[in-house]
Amino acid sequence: MARAGDMTAKMMVLGVMASGPGSAAELQKRLEDLWPAAGFESNAAYNSLPVLAEAGYAHVVEEGTRQVDNRYEITEAGWVHIREWAADWPPDPVLREPIHAKARLAKLEKLPDVIAMARAQAERCIEESDRAHGKLTSRERLLAKAPPRNHNEELGAALMVAQFEDEALAWSDLAARRQKYANIVQGIYERFSKEARQAGDEGS
């Protein structure tokens, strides 16, 4: 269940629609360009648009030859809804880490598999951090070549740079956390494996 203030696909589709009308494909691209690390489903816009239209937050401004090609625009009620959402406090982060559950449920002899998973995740997080740094550098170069033309564009550009900086930091921090966790579990595995061997030797 989504919590109040959650960054749901439906709300973010409405958010990207605020920059102008678009088809499901166009809005999906904006969604992924703005929040590539959010992991939204590839059909998020397609699934969200009928729900938003039924709620009165969006409406069709141009019908396509197929329903999927219809172009949608945010309504006044949609503007009110997105502004109210932006003013709400975000919910507290939830730490629901599958790697922790896998370690707790694994038998001792299976802990090396969990350790390998954690180290692999650390490597992927490093790659994501590098990508986020690349986006940040690319955006800064683009802004140097084509500075914002007005106050609103300057504000949007500054917030996007802040987002990329935060994403790069988040991935870097998660990589360090995963590596440290793998090292801790490695130590636990070695300790309890040694104790199990000693107990076996004493019992033989």
SS3 letters across the chain: CCCCCCCCHHHHHHHHHCCCCECHHHHHHHHHHHCHHHCCCCCHHHHHHHHHHHCCCEEEEECCCCHHHCEEEECHHHHHHHHHHHHCCCCCCCCCCHHHHHHHHCCHHHHHHHHHHHHHHHHHHHHHHHHHHHHHHHHHHHHHHCCCCCHHHHHHHHHHHHHHHHHHHHHHHHHHHHHHHHHHHHHHHHHHHHHHHHHHHHHC
> According to the CATH classification, is domain 9-87 in 1.10.10.10?
yes
What is the model's pLDDT at position 3?
Answer: 74
What is the model's pLDDT at position 90?
Answer: 87
What is the model's pLDDT at position 182?
Answer: 97
What is the model's pLDDT at position 2?
Answer: 66
What is the model's pLDDT at position 199?
Answer: 84
In the chain, which stretches have pLDDT less than 50? Answer: none
